[in-house]
Every structure is written in C-alpha cells, then in structure tokens.
C-alpha cells in the first residue's frame, strides 16, 4: 500500500469502528481537499518535521505527508485510532511516528530532531491550554517555526483581537506578544464528522524573533490574568490582587489607573509586567 492507494477515510472509520468521542473533543475532518489546503497553508513542509496533535483516523496526517513533510509525529490519545495510523505509516515508510499519549503531558520539543512546524485540527477541549503552553515555551524564539491550528471561530477571533473589544483578552495579549497571528480561512461545520455546533477557523501564528516588548513571561501572565479577571473594573481596582499598592505600579508603567484591561495595548501590559516584577 502506498499513499496513493490508501482507502477512503470513511472506509477506514467503518473498518476500525472509529465513532468520534465527545469526551475527547473529536470531530474528524474527512474532506481531503480541505486537509490538503490546511497542509499547504502550513508550508513549505519539505525539510520540516511536523508535530500533529489529535490525528484521529489520519486525514490531515495523509495531507502533511503528501505535501512533503520529512516526518510527521502524530500524538494520539485514542488508541482506537492507532491501527488506522499504522496503515498510513506503512504507506509512507519511515516518515510517520505515532505517539500514543496525552498531548498536554508530552514533551514535544524532545520528539523533533530538526526544523519543525506544528499543524493540527486541535480537539476543542484542549485547544486553548495547548496554545498557551506553546506560547510559554522557553527559551524564545521557540523550537518550532510556525503554528497552523484549527480552533472554534470564537477562539480564533480572541487570538487576533485588537484592544478595545470584548474579544480582546488574555489569549490575545499572550499570542500577539510573542507571535504574529492571523486567521487564514473558515471551515464549515459540515466538513466534519460529526458536525460540531460551531464554525471552525484555521489560524497561523509565526513566532517573533524579538517579542513585541520586554517582559518576564510569568509576570506578564499574572498581570494579564488579574486585569482581565475583573475586566469591567478600572486597573486601580482589578490589580489589587497583585499588590497592596497598585497605583504606584500603574504609575511606574506610565499608565492611567482609570483605564480598563481591554483598553491597554500589548506593549502597555508589558510595561505593567516590568513594573510588577520590579516590586517583587
């Protein structure tokens, strides 16, 4: 069997009894034109190893290999999917490594040997925690060259949101501080089996060689969490959970204490993080 002679995905699902499990956030992507589009959007793949999370029966896996990835490392928690992935591995000898395990507990950097990209139709229930983990990679720039990921559209909008609106929050600050994120294209719910309740969106995040502004990652995370934890309040109130004297910290950052979290730029949050770190 070769990549050109692999059976249709619906046959694979029927053969191996791969009904999608809601508990694992599974929605299988079976449209090979669409998986090919995602793989091409993540490219060029030649010369790159690709980490894929939640491959399921392997629709996107096939596309990544067909587009020339030197090796795909597929991390799958659902052992029911492993035989289907083994069939793909046999069709692409030496180019697919299957890891059975929880992506949130896997040291992905240790799995790659050279230039790498991360490409995935992420299970909805772990998509945001995984993204935050990748954004918190140390040292920076990270071990991966790009992230091409599918999210619920609402989450995608939060990643790229500018200051000033309801979508702007912790995820936007963390993503835009260290990467250049952009929404590539929407994926209709009908493209999945079973169809999810929402539209999905493919997002590209390219790591910045230099972060948008200097800040300690842990300090920035704490400041952003506190500020958006009470986003309706002014900073002088919302940041009381961080320090007994938030006014002094806010003044040191050169920011108006009557502003609210959603009004601050990423650079202003970094200034607050530096001021917070200096008080500690």
Residue-by-residue pLDDT tens, the chain, 280 positions: 455 678 877 788 778 666 655 655 557 778 888 999 999 999 899 999 999 999 988 999 999 999 999 999 999 998 888 999 999 999 999 999 999 999 999 999 999 999 999 999 988 889 999 999 999 999 999 999 999 999 999 999 999 999 998 999 999 999 999 999 999 999 988 887 777 788 999 999 999 999 999 999 999 999 999 999 998 999 999 999 999 889 999 999 999 999 999 999 999 999 999 999 998 6
Contact partners, residue 279, CB within 8 Å, separation at least 6: 243, 248, 249
Contact partners, residue 33, CB within 8 Å, separation at least 6: none
User: CA torsion, points 251, 254, 255, 257, in degrees to nearest 10?
Assistant: 10
Domain that holds residue 272: 217-279
Quick one: 197 and 239 in the same domain?
no
Quick one: 199 and 222 in the same domain?
no
**212 lies in some domain:** no
Q: Last residue of a domain, which of 207, 225, 259?
A: 207
CATH number of the domain at 105, please.
3.40.50.150
Quick one: 264 and 138 in the same domain?
no
CATH number of the domain at 274, please.
1.10.8.100
What's residue 31's pLDDT? 85
Quick one: 78 and 161 in the same domain?
yes
Which residue matches tokens 């009908």?
190
Token pair of 28 as six digits: 């299988």
Quick one: 182 and 228 in the same domain?
no
Q: Are 226 and 235 in contact (CB under 8 A)?
A: no
Quick one: 43 and 160 in the same domain?
yes
What's residue 52's pLDDT? 97
What's residue 195's pLDDT? 74
**199 lies in some domain:** yes
What's residue 190's pLDDT? 83
What's residue 155's pLDDT? 96
What's residue 22's pLDDT? 60
User: CA torsion, points 29, 106, 118, 129, in degrees to nearest 10?
Assistant: 80
Q: Last residue of a domain, which of 207, 234, 264?
A: 207
Quick one: 238 and 148 in the same domain?
no
The full 3-state SS of 128-188, as one line of letters, equals HHHHHHHHCCCCCCCCEEEEEEEEEHHHHHHHHCCCCCCCCCHHHHHHHHHEEEEEEEEEC
Quick one: 106 and 124 in the same domain?
yes
**21 lies in some domain:** yes
Q: Last residue of a domain, which of 164, 189, 207?
A: 207
Main-chain phi, psi angles of 7, to 5 degrees? -70, 160
Total domains in the fold of the chain: 2
Quick one: 141 and 18 in the same domain?
yes
Separation of CA 216 from chain center: 21
Q: How far apart are CA 92 and CA 113, in angstroms?
A: 19
């Amino acid at each position: 069997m070769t990549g050109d002679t692999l059976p249709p995905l619906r046959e694979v699902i029927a053969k191996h009894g791969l009904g999608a499990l809601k508990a694992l956030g599974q929605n299988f992507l079976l449209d090979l034109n669409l998986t090919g589009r995602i793989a091409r959007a993540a490219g060029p793949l030649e010369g790159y190893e690709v980490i894929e999370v939640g491959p399921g029966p392997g629709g996107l896996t096939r596309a990544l290999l067909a587009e020339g990835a030197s090796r795909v490392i597929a991390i799958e928690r659902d052992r029911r999917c492993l035989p289907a992935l083994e069939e793909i591995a046999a069709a692409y000898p030496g180019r697919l490594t299957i890891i059975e395990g929880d992506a949130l507990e896997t040291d992905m950097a240790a799995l790659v040997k050279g230039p790498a990209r991360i490409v995935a139709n992420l299970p909805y229930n772990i998509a945001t925690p995984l993204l935050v983990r990748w954004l918190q990679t140390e040292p920076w720039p990270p071990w991966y060259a790009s992230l091409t990921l599918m999210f619920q559209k609402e989450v995608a909008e939060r990643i790229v949101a500018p200051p000033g609106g309801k979508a702007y929050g912790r995820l936007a600050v963390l993503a835009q501080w260290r990467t250049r994120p952009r929404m590539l294209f929407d994926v209709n719910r009908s493209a999945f089996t079973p169809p999810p309740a929402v539209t999905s969106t493919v997002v590209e995040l390219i790591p910045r060689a230099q972060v948008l502004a200097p800040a300690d990652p842990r300090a920035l995370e704490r400041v952003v969490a506190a500020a958006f934890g009470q986003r309706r309040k002014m900073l002088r109130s919302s940041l009381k959970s961080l320090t007994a004297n938030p006014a002094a910290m806010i003044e040191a950052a050169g920011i108006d204490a009557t502003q609210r979290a959603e009004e601050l730029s990423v650079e202003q949050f970094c200034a607050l993080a530096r001021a917070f770190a200096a008080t500690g």
